[in-house]
Structure 1
Amino acid sequence: RLSGGAVTCRVGETNNSTAFLGQFAGAAKGNFRTRALIESFWNLTHNETGERLVFPGQTGSHARVNAPEDLIGRGKEMDLMLRAMPALPEWVFQNLRKPLPEFNEAVRAIGEINERMNRRGIMPGTEHMIEGFVEAGLVTTDFDLPGIGLVARADFEERLKGRSEDDQRAILAVCKASARKLSPREVFDSRRGELVPWRREALAQLLYPAHRPEISRVTKNGLVVIEDQDVAPSALRFLAHHFSAGDEFETVINPMVPDLLFIYDARANRKGAWLGTLKLWGSVNRADDAAVQRRIGMAEQVKRELLEPLTKMGGRLAKNRAEDLEHNNAVLGALGSEKKTAVAEARAAMMTMPD
């Protein structure tokens, strides 16, 4: 409904049906048809990040019963480094050899792995086996040009432009063409221009029922503080300087975009009504000059926004004062004119009096 039918969703249902009529029902179980899709989606990533030398600190299964024995010690040493991080220059912390991947570093590394997997099929020896690509026509042709190497079809056709038919035939005679399935990245990029970003009001309607909104209050510093280990390892602070200290909202964070806080009305008669979003107001490393300058700019903008009502009021006061002065000058000027007129009339009367 929110996407106008552009996005469809299938939710895997759970059931606790029994094998025989009359049996007591057991615990509800997931639908294996849906579960397989979810598990398989992350299988490749799990396999590629399973090397402990590259990604130390593997946690094992969900129960953690098969986690490496040194995981606890690694975690304690990493905690010490993270506590010291705010006091260290960024280049020092980046060059330390850490017992565990730092969160942002791990995100970047896993992102690079996923990107390499999404490019399967572009380079020789990386053909993927994703079903349905051939049937959907998601195929292309590469050309092996002597002295150049593999060239994608679009690039090859661009090279042929402006050449004579004889030149084109000569080039085709010496190059080798090979068909292949498109990579997942190529498929996505080919339709990227057709994507329509979600409007924030539509996204707010999706997030509210999907999460358990929490009641948050504006602090005396004009911030809303959120602590959610599933989103960030430390507290997140969002700028709420347009509100008063003590104001309450229902709040939801989109884990995919943690720099925005969606706020909803917490009053009983308007509970759940979307009010807007707040921007993240994070800590800045003093050694990062660029980040410090950005923070100064943001602080100046906040100051201007806070002073804007006072500036407008001052402008109105100045305008009213100027109008008052003009009015008073006009009144006093009229009084002066009346006096001059009275004096002139008196003189004229004296000159016309009989001797």
Structure 2
Amino acid sequence: MRAILVDDERLALELLQQMLEKKVGGVTVVGAYTNPVQALEEARELQPDLIFLDIHMPGIDGLKLGDLLQESIPSLKIVFVTGYDRYAVEAFEMNALDYILKPPNPKRLQKTLERFRESENKRMEADTGQALLCCFNQLQYQPAGEPPQPLKWRTGKAQELFAFMLHHRGRIVDKETLLEMLWPEYDTPRALQYLYTTVYHIRQTLKNNGLDHITISSGSFETGYRLTFGDLRLDTEEWKTQVLKLGPLNVINASNYELTLDMYKGDYLAEYDYVWAEPEREHLRGLWLRTARSLSAFYELHQLTGEAVRLNLRVQQLFPYDEECCLTLMKLYREIGDKEGVQEQYRLLAARIEGELGSSISGKVQDWYTEWDSARS
């Protein structure tokens, strides 16, 4: 990878270059600058992959320089190397790749380069792309480099059978289970005929859409069916994997939390009333909510109130009856002096909990609101 270094201290530049090229490896330093203006001018021509940037410099400080460089080279990844830790939040807001305190050491720099490689691998996968099967919200198929498109099924039974087999992918589902789920009103011989016909229609639909690598094959002794799909990507599986890889939340990977939340395009098979899908639906919703709450707490800790409000309003769209989210929003609105916002949140919650569900707001929320209202009065 090609990198440039910017630091107003020549000795620091030389030490960092030596570490990157001789002790860490895999990096070619194509420019090292003590003058930020010169670095900005030459970076446009050099088009580096990565920049290691000091923050506290005369003239143009590192944060400003990073902002200018991102405008001129959008693909550039920025690593701040500084003797001060008070700029962490600003670095996070710029979506920096990493934030390293001086003096850096080879082990820490190696972690930075591993993070860069992971980022590049994700970008390349997105660019080249494999076909994607989508289960968020509705069943769709997304060919590489094209927008998602719904699959046209012969019947509703064919769609549900495919969805159910996909849900149990890689495992044999016995025929008895399928018959009881889809054709409980028919005797076994007739229900089996419907099953065979529906499997045939599924195979034809897959073939017509270029999805021959998705196969539904008979299990051992023809007791059931198994669905396999080779190297086809599945959006829900990729999303769960991404959640598990997030790691502890900090100023550097907070942007990954945002991206992961964005990947959630709707509840699992939300457009269909498949009872068997409900456990997985709730599982994924729970993962999303826990991730969002972690990020909200991080924003609150770093006094990024606007970001916390934005995120919790998004949570509220998915979980309109969630009292914890409503209470968090009321507290955030209180912090910024928005009394109308506090009142509106309480009114919304009352309408939903009392008006729609016929229940009562929890004592915790009622007590907080009453105390706030009394103090305001």
Q: So what's the TM-score if we normalise by structure 1?
A: 0.25
Report the structure, 1 or 2, having the larger helix content: 2
Bigger CA radius of gyration: 1
